[in-house]
Amino acid sequence: MSVLVYIEHAEGSVKKTSLEAISYAKALSEKLSSGDVIAVALGSISSDELAKAGTAGASKVLHVNDSKLTEGIIQAHAEAVAQVYKKVNATTLVLAKSSLGDAVASRLAIKLDAGLVSNVVELPDTSSGYKVKRSIYTGKAFAETQVNTEHKILAVRKNAVDLKTDGGSAAVEEVLLDIAPENFATKITSTDKATGEILLPEADIVVSGGRGMKGPENWGMIEELAHELGAATGCSKPVSDIGWRPHHEHVGQTGVKVAPTLYIAVGISGAIQHLAGVNSSKYIVVINKDPEAPFFKAADYGIVGDAFEILPKLTEAVKAQK
C-alpha cells in the first residue's frame, strides 16, 4: 500500500505546488497509515533535483526518464502515471491542482476507476466515511465531498497546506515503461512563453495594477516593486481591455485565477469579478486612495493613499530590507 504523488516540473525544477502535494500526501499517509509516499516524475529532469522531493516527505521518486514525456502530453502522462500507480500498489494519488493536473487527473479517474476530488484544502475526515473538503465558487465557499471508491485521486489547491521541509533526501529510481504510441497522438511542436520574469498562475507573490495606475507609462513602478519582491505582475480586466497590459496578465473571474502567498493590489477597486480570481491568496495587501474601495473588505493589510507616492517608498523599503 502506498500514496503516489504525480509531480510537475518546469525548467529543471520541481514545482512548489508539487512539493506541497507531497507534504499533503505525507500527512495523509501518517493520518491513515497508508504506507510510503512515492512520487512519480515524467520526462527529463536531474536526479539531484528529484531527490529534493524527500524534504517534503517522499521516501522515493520513480523517474520515467523519457524525453517524449518532458512536454505535458496529457494522454501519455495519464497512461504513465496509471502504470506506475498499479506497479507500486497505490490506493491514493495526490497531485497539485493545475491545468495539466486537472487534465491528467480526470483521465486517471477513468483508468483507475477512482473517485476524484479537485481543489482539496484539508486532509480527509474519515470519522464516518471518507469526506474531503474542497474550495468551490472560486474560493468563496467550501464543499464536502464523500468519496466511496476504493481508489482516490486528490488534487490539492495551491497554498492550502504548509510545505514540509524537514524530510530527508528521497531515493531516485529510474523506471522504464512501455507507453503505446497512440498515447502520443498529439505533439506540442512549439510553445510561446508569456513574457515577464515569473509566470502569473504559479507566482508566489503577485503585484497587480488597476485603472488607478492611470496609464501604461506608469507600469514601471509596478514592475520595479515586482522585480524587488521576485513577483509576477497582474492587472484588472479593464487595464488589459484598454491595452495597457497584455491579456495574459488579466486576473479575475474571466482571467487568470491566482493563489499566491501575497497579492498586492494597486489602484484596483475590488469588484466581485476581480476578487473571484484572487480570494484564494493567503495574504492580500490593498493600496487605494479611496478608503471606501470594496477591496479593503477582502484585504489583510490596507494602505489608504496615492499609489504614485506609496509605490516608490514601498520599493525602496523592500530594497533596504535586502
Ligand X SMILES: Cc1cc2nc3c(=O)[nH]c(=O)nc-3n(C[C@H](O)[C@H](O)[C@H](O)COP(=O)(O)OP(=O)(O)OC[C@H]3O[C@@H](n4cnc5c(N)ncnc54)[C@H](O)[C@@H]3O)c2cc1C
Site of interaction with ligand X (CB under 6 A): 210-212, 236-239, 252-255, 267-269, 271, 273-274, 277, 287-290, 293, 306-308
- β-pairing verdict for 9-10 and 13-14: antiparallel
Q: Quick one: 178 or 292, whose CB is closer to ligand X? A: 292
CB 296 within 8 A of CB 270: yes
Q: Quick one: 57 or 255, whose CB is closer to ligand X? A: 255
For residue 62, list its beta bridge partners.
40, 173
Number of H helices, E strands in the chain: 10, 16
Q: How far apart are CA 69 and CA 76, in angstroms?
A: 7
What phi-psi label fits residue 291: left (phi over 0), alpha (psi between -120 and 50 degrees) or beta?
alpha
Q: How far apart are CA 56 and CA 148, in angstroms?
A: 28
CB 149 within 8 A of CB 114: yes
* CB-nearest residue to ligand X: 252
Buried b (16+ CB within 10 A) or exposed e, 135-160: beebbeeeeebebeeebbbbbbbbbb
Q: Quick one: 61 or 221, whose CB is closer to ligand X? A: 221
Taking the complex as a whole, how short is the minimal distance between the CB of residue 236 and ligand X, in angstroms?
3
* CA of residue 204 relative to chain centroid, distance: 9
- β-pairing verdict for 131-136 and 141-146: antiparallel
Q: Quick one: 116 or 299, whose CB is closer to ligand X? A: 299
Q: Quick one: 196 or 238, whose CB is closer to ligand X? A: 238
Q: Quick one: 115 or 277, whose CB is closer to ligand X? A: 277
Taking the complex as a whole, how short is the minimal distance between the CB of residue 269 and ligand X, in angstroms?
3
